[in-house]
Each structure stands twice: as structure tokens, then as C-alpha cells.
Amino acid sequence: MVVIVDYGMGNLRSVAKAVEKCGGSVAISNNPLHIEQAGRLILPGVGAFGKAMENLGKLKLVEPLKKKIEEGTPFLGICLGLQLLFEWSEEGNVAGLSIIPGKVKKFLPTPGLKIPHMGWNNIKLTPPGERQDSPLTAKIFREIPDNSYFYFVHSYYVEPDEEKIISSTTPYGIDFTSSITYKNMFACQFHPEKSSKIGLKLIQNFLGLP
Amino acid sequence: MVFLDITATIEGRNTMLNVVSKTAEQVFIPLTVGGGIRTLDDIRELLKSGADKVSINTAAVKDPSLVWEAAEKFGSQCIVVAVDGKYVSPGKWEVYINSGRTPTGIQVLDWVKEVEKAGAGEILLTSIDADGTQKGYDIELTRLVSQKVSIPVIASGGAGEPLHFYQVLTEGKADAALAASLFHYGILTIPNLKKYLQEKGVEVRV
């Protein structure tokens, strides 16, 4: 069972529908017990970082989530669900779940670039030699060509301390980190559930992880 | 994808939640829904039904604070303000509401700036003059609006052939171009249009 963590942020239903389309069975839940029993975890999310941390705290989901991730459960973080894994965000100057060393920064105003970064953009896959040798990365991006287009909506991006965990970057003024692979976790800034066929392929790959 | 019930306001109808939720089950690309939105509750219901963004037009003009409150509550990224403009004199267009039937006396170029300040995430700009003509988008209106605001502008109204898309995305400086009947009636197909634009050097997702 795939458990989509419901902490009151963003469009969980789109994520659930996409997982179902890929043949997965889904539960949307904010019950720590369900999270404990999950075979796979998805942390989605659209919205403000501080509010998200506050909700996770109120719902007493922080510890169950961390524990589950530590146990090695396949984990997919989407958008805010990527950012929350880090230590700190510029958005509201708030501490995150601190599972991955690094921070979340806002795009600097750059002439000609609109913020939020919204729309389709391509992802440049990190060549295998330059990233952590994680079998997860290869599996997640199976049959997803380099420079594929995904859908983005965000004003902040993650900056991991360890560059080796970056599994793709995307050009938007700078080449920002558009996805990371860390232990049993894959997390992306883009929205696979809104990225048409290629996004569904990625979700399918996630469901196929051992 | 944009789903608009364009006569919802004048016919006093709410946007069909059922159609939205059925669509969202099958369509895995961003879905914008508009038509007849009046309140924050309308917006909440649509987002819950699976819309990613809502498009507000008449209600935004009648009560600009709705845009501000909606952006505050749901985030700018899901608030699209639709602006229907009609040509008045060189460099001037007037905002019309109620499906382009009621003039407001408001200048398009002032209004887009105001909705940007209120927190709109995108502007869906329709030229009433060009709409339905298939003679091309209003390039000048689109260019002036795009230069005026720093949020994405989607051009709408007038597409008749691939060249029109090219023009509005380059000269018109639009971030995206919308067309409906061309695709609905099969005059153009999306893959062919994308191929054409790509060959002309426009960045598109193929």
C-alpha cells in the first residue's frame, strides 16, 4: 500500500489519481499508524514551508515519518515534500525535517525570469560518474530520457550540502537541483503527477522499486 | 489544459464540479478551471475537485479583494485572472466582463498591473476583437501586457494557423498561447503545431 501523507497542504488527490493510474493502491492518511504500516510513502505538498512544518508537528507525524524513512521504506517527495527534508528554509526562516543536510533558498530576482518558476522545464540527469552510485537513481529514471520536460511550480529550490545526491538539475537562471536521491529516498521539485506520460512513467518506476 | 464555462456568470451557474473531477481523474497535466467563480468557497471546491488553478474574471473586477484573498489563502500559483480586452484607441484597451458583454471603463494595462499586485499568478488575456476571427492574436495588446507585468501571460483569441502561435510567442512576448476551436475541430493537431514551433526555434515541450 502506498500512503500519501495528508498534512493539509496541496493537491493530494492528483497524486493519488496518478498512482492509481499506474496501478498502485493508495491511502491518503494523516494517521501515524497508517504511516507505520505503509509499504511506500509519498510526501506531496504545495504551499508555505512554515505552515507545512507546523501541520506535521500538530498531527504528530514528524517522528513516524523519520522512523519510517530510516527503516528504508521507499519514499517519494514532491515539491514541498522535497524541501521539507532539508535542515532549513529561507521561506519564513524555519527549520525542516533535517533528514538531508542542506537548505532551501529563494530564487534571486533575475531580469527576464519570472517567480514563481511555473510551467514546463527540462531536467538534466546527472551523469552516473558524478553522482552517488545509487541503484535507486537508475531505477527511478528508467526509460526517462535526459532533458525530459516536467511541470514545475515553485519559488524556492533546495541546495544540498553534498552535491553527489543531486540526481538532476534544471536551468532557470541558475542550474538548480530539481531532484535528489538519498538512501531510499527520491524527491523532486517538479510534479510527476502533472507531467503527463513522462511523469506517470516516473511514478510507475517508483512503484516498481523493490 | 484550460476548462472554461464561459457563460456561467451571465447564466448564473456555478462551474460544474462533477465535470472537473471526472476530467482530473484522466488528465495528468495542469488543469485550469474558470467560469462563474464568485467566492473563496467556489475556489476551494474547484481545487478539491482536482483543478490545479482557477481562472477568475468578472468577480475579480467586481471585487478585486477576492484576488488578494484567494492568493493569500491558496497561493498565487493557482490564481489566474482572466482579462477580456477590447480595443478603444491606439495603445488603449478596455476591460469587459460578463463574457465580454459589459464594459467596465477600466484600462487593460492598468488592470493587469493591479491584479499582479493583488497576487495573481498568471494572466489569461483574451482579445475580444481577435477572438473567433482566426486572423491572429492581438500581438500589440499581448506585448504591452507582457511587458507591463512580471507574471506569465497566456494569449488567447484569434489563432487560425501555426504562424499566429509563432508570432504571439515571439513578437507578442506571450509565455503561452491558448487555442480551442482550432484543436476541437481538428484544423490543427497539437503535435504538428509543436513540431512547427520547434523548427522555428521556439522552446516547446514535445
- Whether B180 and chain A come into contact, CB under 8 Å, resolves to no
Write the residue in B47, B76, B121 that is nearest to A11 by C-beta. B47
- Cell 501541520, residue located: A55
Cβ–Cβ < 8 Å for A90, A106 = yes
Tell me which of A79, A117, A154, A188 is the catalytic residue: A79
Q: Is the pLDDT of residue B170 over 90?
A: yes
Nearest CA in chain B to A20: B25
- CA A202 – CA B52 distance, rounded (Å): 20
Lowest mean pLDDT among A63-72, A123-132, A188-197, B152-161: A123-132
> What is the rounded average pLDDT of the residues B28-37?
92
Q: Is the pLDDT of residue B25 over 70?
A: yes
Q: Is the pLDDT of residue A133 over 70?
A: no
> What is the rounded average pLDDT of the residues B23-27?
86
Q: Is the pLDDT of residue B203 over 70?
A: yes
Tell me which of A91, A117, A188, A193 is the catalytic residue: A193
Taking an 8 Å cut-off on Cβ atoms, the answer to whether A195 and B151 are in contact is no
For an interface test with B, the pick among A80, A153, A191 (most B C-beta atoms closer than 10 Å) comes out as A153
Task: Return the pLDDT at B167.
Answer: 97
Q: Which residues lie closer than 8 Å to A54 by C-beta, 6 or more apart?
A: none
Q: Is the pLDDT of residue B50 over 80?
A: yes
Task: Return the pLDDT at B15.
Answer: 60
Task: Return the pLDDT at B14.
Answer: 67
This prediction has a pTM of 0.88
Lowest mean pLDDT among A23-27, A130-134, A175-179: A130-134
- Whether B203 and chain A come into contact, CB under 8 Å, resolves to no
Write the residue in B28, B30, B152 that is nearest to A18 by C-beta. B28
Taking an 8 Å cut-off on Cβ atoms, the answer to whether B151 and A114 are in contact is yes
> What is the rounded average pLDDT of the residues A166-180?
97
What does the pLDDT look like over B93-103, one tens digit per residue? 999 999 999 99
Judging by beta carbons within 10 Å of its beta carbon (0-12, 13-18, 19+), is residue B14 exposed, middle or buried? Answer: middle
Taking an 8 Å cut-off on Cβ atoms, the answer to whether B77 and A14 are in contact is no
Taking an 8 Å cut-off on Cβ atoms, the answer to whether A153 and B176 are in contact is no
Tell whether ipTM is more than 0.90.
no
Taking an 8 Å cut-off on Cβ atoms, the answer to whether A46 and B150 are in contact is no
- CA B15 – CA B13 distance, rounded (Å): 6
Lowest mean pLDDT among A11-15, A128-132, B184-188: A128-132
Cβ–Cβ < 8 Å for A136, A153 = no
Task: Return the pLDDT at B16.
Answer: 77
- Whether B173 and chain A come into contact, CB under 8 Å, resolves to no
Q: Which residues of B touch A114 (CB under 8 A)?
A: 150-152, 175
Counting residues of chain A whose pLDDT is more than 90, the rounded percentage is: 82
- The half-sphere exposure of B92 on its side-chain side, counting CA atoms within 13 A, is 7
> What is the rounded average pLDDT of the residues B25-29?
89
Taking an 8 Å cut-off on Cβ atoms, the answer to whether B50 and A17 are in contact is yes
Q: Is the pLDDT of residue B64 over 70?
A: yes
> What is the rounded average pLDDT of the residues A85-112?
94
Counting residues of chain A whose pLDDT is more than 70, the rounded percentage is: 100
The answer to whether A117 is a known catalytic residue is no
- Residue-averaged pLDDT of chain A: 93
Task: Return the pLDDT at A112.
Answer: 77
The answer to whether A79 is a known catalytic residue is yes
- CA B8 – CA B10 distance, rounded (Å): 6
Longest CA–CA span in chain B (Å) reads 45
What's the gap in Å between the CA of A14 and the closest CA on chain B? 6
Residues 159-178 of A with CB under 8 A from B: none
Q: Which residues of A touch B151 (CB under 8 A)?
A: 114
Q: Which residues of B touch A199 (CB under 8 A)?
A: 28
Q: Determine how many CB atoms are found less than 10 A away from the CB of residue A23.
A: 10
> What is the rounded average pLDDT of the residues A52-56?
93
The answer to whether A191 is a known catalytic residue is yes
What does the pLDDT look like over A13-51, one tens digit per residue? 889 999 999 999 999 999 999 999 999 999 998 778 998
Could you tell me where the DSSP H helices lie in B92-149?
Answer: 108-118, 139-148
What's the gap in Å between the CA of A71 and the closest CA on chain B? 31
> What is the rounded average pLDDT of the residues B36-58?
91
How many A/B residue pairs have CB atoms within 8 Å? 53
